[in-house]
Amino acid sequence: MKHLSLRGLTLLELAIAIAVLAVLGALAVPGFNSQLDQQRLRSTAEALLADVNEARFEAARQGRTMHVVMNGGAAWCWAVTTEPDCPCGQGQACELRHALPRDHAGVQLLEAATVQLLANGRAESASSVTFESRRGARLRVDVQLLGRARICAPTATTDRYPAC
């Protein structure tokens, strides 16, 4: 009968394997952060798009003007409201839903425009809202006179959204 000896990894082999994994991980982190940054930006633009579409639907359903009120700056926010002067993000009775910076970490609201959606589904005027990620990527949400909203990329084309 043969005698089988069990041999494990030496400390040197284990250290080399950990070093290789650390180098590979360090190479992957920037790409992962870039993807996460892009996903946060897309998620924010898509959330506003959904809220504009919801406001348009509610305007037609309730037969009255609905508003998407926005405030820019460091403490930016937007809210779907029944009144044009309803304060954004304060949970007032006139507010149906809102979004705050903490809901969309790493994204800044650069250009804000209040949107009025009439009972016939049209917008009072065309408007645009621009978001920017930490790495400088931008997406814009355009609301057309017919009340339809779309997302586009103002600086470059992306795989998901057309150029503005």
Q: What is the pLDDT of residues 26-42, one digit of tens each?
A: 665 566 677 888 999 99
Q: Is residue 83 part of a domain?
A: yes
As for how many domains the chain has, the answer is 1
Q: Is residue 4 part of a domain?
A: no
Tell me the pTM. Answer: 0.79
Task: Identify the pLDDT of residue 90.
Answer: 81
Pairing of strands 115-117, 127-133: unpaired
Q: What is the pLDDT of residues 95-104, one digit of tens each?
A: 999 999 999 9
Q: What is the mean pLDDT of residues 109-138?
A: 92
Q: Is residue 2 part of a domain?
A: no
Structural domain range at position 74: 12-152
Output the domain CATH number for residue 100: 3.55.40.10
Q: What percent of the chain has pLDDT over 90?
A: 53
